[in-house]
Structure 1
Amino acid sequence: MKLKKITVVLLAIAVAAAFTACGGSGSSSGSSDKVTLHFANTLSTSNAWNRAAKDLKKDLDEKSDGKIELVIDAGGVHGTDKEQAETCASGDLAMCIGSTVGLDAYVTEMGWINMPYVLHTMDDVEKYVFDEDGWMGKEMTKEAAKYDIKVLGYTSNDFRWLSNSKHPIKSKDDIKGMKIRVPESPMYLTFFKNLGATPTSIPFTDLASALQQKTVDGQDNGPQISVPNDLQSFQKYWTKTNHAYAPAVVYISQKVWDSLSEDQQKILSECVDDYLDEVKEKVASDYKGFEKTMKEDGCQVIENTDTLDKQMRAAAEKTWQTKSVTKNFNQDAVNRILEDAGLK
């Protein structure tokens, strides 16, 4: 009988140890032992996020004297953005970088940041998100914390442009009736319906074939996503509408963060700050290269017109006021956006 009890106790200890080891850090609370942090994202290794991550890995190794090892898990090996966030929140995955479009599938209150025309220029992004006093960045950080996700910082991603295979778009009239592929989101469906388009939700993995087969006429990803996926081969006309921006978020499991020593937390924070800056530089450089590639491939890259800009803003503001779109968002943030725009 005693032997059975001892066996049960040993089995319980083994299970608990196995569970802890899956947490991504491999260390106990406050430990200064070596830790291994898996850093996940859904993009290819050629993307700016992952190219810069190589330097982050090196910096962490050097500044921690080899006690912090970063493993870069690119290409969605941990699943979709939502699945990554869920796994990170549980502590079974240490760190991620992803856009707010992906993170808001899990932290639903955060969806307001992705509304069209909330962030329309890089000045907007710098002021409201990147700046340490920016209210939008602060608000998103608080929202994520409710899900046991600690935001380490924000960095560059892609402005959304509008492309199509038919003709240049210079006003709302040029969009009317056009079949536009949009993300699987009521927000984007509503926005493009307000512009007179015929939007349809198609998974990104099926987008290239849908464009090639003319299932849809256009789409609204920016160059950062479009060119690496060769979408410019099927889309001749690209208008730089910048109608939406989803910041990139670097975040860590709160459970994993709490398991690190103070020194490890300090080193990680400092190295991530450098990483955020490097990503910004690489994304800016990539933009110039991608636009050049588009033109070399025979595309027309068109500046937005004042007319189209005003019409798209009006469609966006109408979307902000659509309750079925914003019902799951942080209402304080939505109301502040409406108030700042003079709509409330």
Structure 2
Amino acid sequence: MKRIAAVALTLAALLATTAGALAATEIKLAHVVNEKDAFHACALKFKEIVEEKTGGEIVVQLFPNATLGDERNLLEGLKMGVIDSAIITGGPIINFMPQFGVFDLPFLFSSPEHAYKVLDGEIGRKMLADMEKNGWKGLAYGERGFRNLTNSKRPVVTPEDMKGLKIRLMQNPVFVDSFKALGANAVPMAWTEALTALQQGAIDGQENPLNVIVAFNLNESQKYLSMTRHAYSPNVILFSLVQWKKFSPEQQAIMEEAAQAAAKYNRELDNANEAQWLQELKDKGMEVVETPDLAAFRAAVQPIYEKYQDKFGKDLIEAIQNVQ
């Protein structure tokens, strides 16, 4: 009888464990960069909080390195419900949601604090709410950061130095128009393709925040770095609206809380490490222009504001610029 009772208890324990495993819901969270990047740190923080707060009811599986596709494919997958969640650079969103491109206007944000106040305030919250029209649930704004120019040809101090340089850009018309205005040969392409093109010398340069330049060892193909800080890029923690509706209000609240905390962690990581990243690139041999002629750069891109003010709304642009 004791043996039968022991076997019964063991079977009961196994069934309970199996039931618990079956009860867990798995979320696939994708991004296109590697595990050294701040995006991945953001994803890990989201995973940690969701799994802890739900007691393992929700398990977050991470897919870095564009294993589920480039950002445009991820956005389409979210819309169709075949991808659960993703961390996306702001730039590609404009192809589906044109008004989001207002954040990509060159030199729009004066500082990280200015960007955070806009994104976390009324303007940013409305933009997240509008994402539902595209089948996305916008949860929070993390950070890609202020973008800087690298190239393999020469130091860039003024817009004149950009003449003819083949620069990879996100597949985003605001970025393309901005770099054409600066005299560059603008080459929009997915990031996964850009890495190969840089290594092969098919393009001369690219523009990204310091964390990306470090994470992808771009110093190996790029000799020159100019701290232009020409645009601020948020990332957006997104969920498929189709999948979002399958969760209970309590689970949704936990995921929103986790996204906000992960976004804050992402920003803090960038701000804490920027000086270290810059020094690391110098130590690896990059020639850094720390004070390019930003007045000349701003003057060169003024036509971009004139071109896009009707599309984005002059009042919205001014409202962003006036946030204190």
Compute the TM-score of the two structures, normalised by the length of structure 2: 0.81
Given the alignment of the two structures, is residue 309 of structure 1 paired with residue 294 of structure 2, yes or no?
A: yes
Structure 2 CA distance for partners of 1:88 and 1:186, relative to 1, 3 Å: closer
Aligned to 1:38, the other structure's residue is in SS state strand
Structure 2 CA distance for partners of 1:102 and 1:286, relative to 1, 3 Å: farther
Q: Name the amino acid aligned to 2:72.
A: K
- Aligned length in residues: 300
Q: 2:317 aligns with which of 297, 314, 337?
A: 337
Partner of 2:303: 318
Stretches of structure 2 lacking an aligned partner (at least 5 in a row): 1-22
Q: For 1:49 and 1:199, locate their aligned partners in 2 and report how far apart those are by CA, in whole Å.
A: 25
Indicate if the aligned counterparts of 2:29 and 2:85 stay in contact, CA closer than 8 A: yes
After TM superposition, the structure 1 = structure 2 runs for residues 82-231 of structure 1, keeping only pairs within 5 Å, are: 82-129=72-119, 131=120, 133-135=121-123, 137-208=124-195, 210-211=197-198, 214-231=201-218
Partner of 1:7: none
Partner of 2:62: 72
Given the alignment of the two structures, is residue 273 of structure 1 paired with residue 269 of structure 2, yes or no?
A: no
Structure 2 CA distance for partners of 1:179 and 1:144, relative to 1, 3 Å: same
Indicate if the aligned counterparts of 1:38 and 1:71 stay in contact, CA closer than 8 A: yes
What is the CA distance between 1:248 and its match in structure 2?
0.7
Stretches of structure 1 lacking an aligned partner (at least 5 in a row): 1-32
Indicate if the aligned counterparts of 2:107 and 2:231 stay in contact, CA closer than 8 A: yes
| 1:300-322 deviation per Cα after TM superposition (whole angstroms, max 9, x unaligned) | 222234xx212222233211222
What is the CA distance between 1:190 and its match in structure 2?
2.3
What is the CA distance between 1:338 and its match in structure 2?
5.7
Q: 1:39 aligns with which of 21, 29, 52?
A: 29
Given the alignment of the two structures, is residue 259 of structure 1 paired with residue 239 of structure 2, yes or no?
A: no
Indicate if the aligned counterparts of 2:66 and 2:192 stay in contact, CA closer than 8 A: no
Aligned to 2:59, the other structure's residue is in SS state strand
What is the CA distance between 1:120 and its match in structure 2?
4.3
Indicate if the aligned counterparts of 1:82 and 1:106 stay in contact, CA closer than 8 A: no
Partner of 2:228: 241
Structure showing the higher strand proportion among its residues: 2
Structure 2 CA distance for partners of 1:91 and 1:209, relative to 1, 3 Å: closer
Q: Name the amino acid aligned to 2:185.
A: T
Indicate if the aligned counterparts of 1:120 and 1:243 stay in contact, CA closer than 8 A: no
Aligned to 2:95, the other structure's residue is in SS state coil
Aligned to 1:117, the other structure's residue is in SS state coil
Q: For 2:246 and 2:195, locate their aligned partners in 1 and report how far apart those are by CA, in whole Å.
A: 43
Structure showing the higher helix proportion among its residues: 2
Q: Name the amino acid aligned to 1:40.
A: A
Indicate if the aligned counterparts of 1:162 and 1:239 stay in contact, CA closer than 8 A: yes
Indicate if the aligned counterparts of 2:197 and 2:203 stay in contact, CA closer than 8 A: yes
Indicate if the aligned counterparts of 2:118 and 2:320 stay in contact, CA closer than 8 A: no
What is the CA distance between 1:128 and its match in structure 2?
0.9
Partner of 2:275: 288
Aligned to 2:280, the other structure's residue is in SS state helix
Partner of 2:18: none
Aligned to 2:288, the other structure's residue is in SS state strand
Partner of 1:27: none
Structure 2 CA distance for partners of 1:80 and 1:167, relative to 1, 3 Å: closer
Q: For 1:48 and 1:287, locate their aligned partners in 2 and report how far apart those are by CA, in whole Å.
A: 11
Q: For 2:39 and 2:321, locate their aligned partners in 1 and report how far apart those are by CA, in whole Å.
A: 33
Compute the TM-score of the two structures, normalised by the length of structure 1: 0.77
Q: For 1:188 and 1:43, locate their aligned partners in 2 and report how far apart those are by CA, in whole Å.
A: 20
Partner of 2:9: none
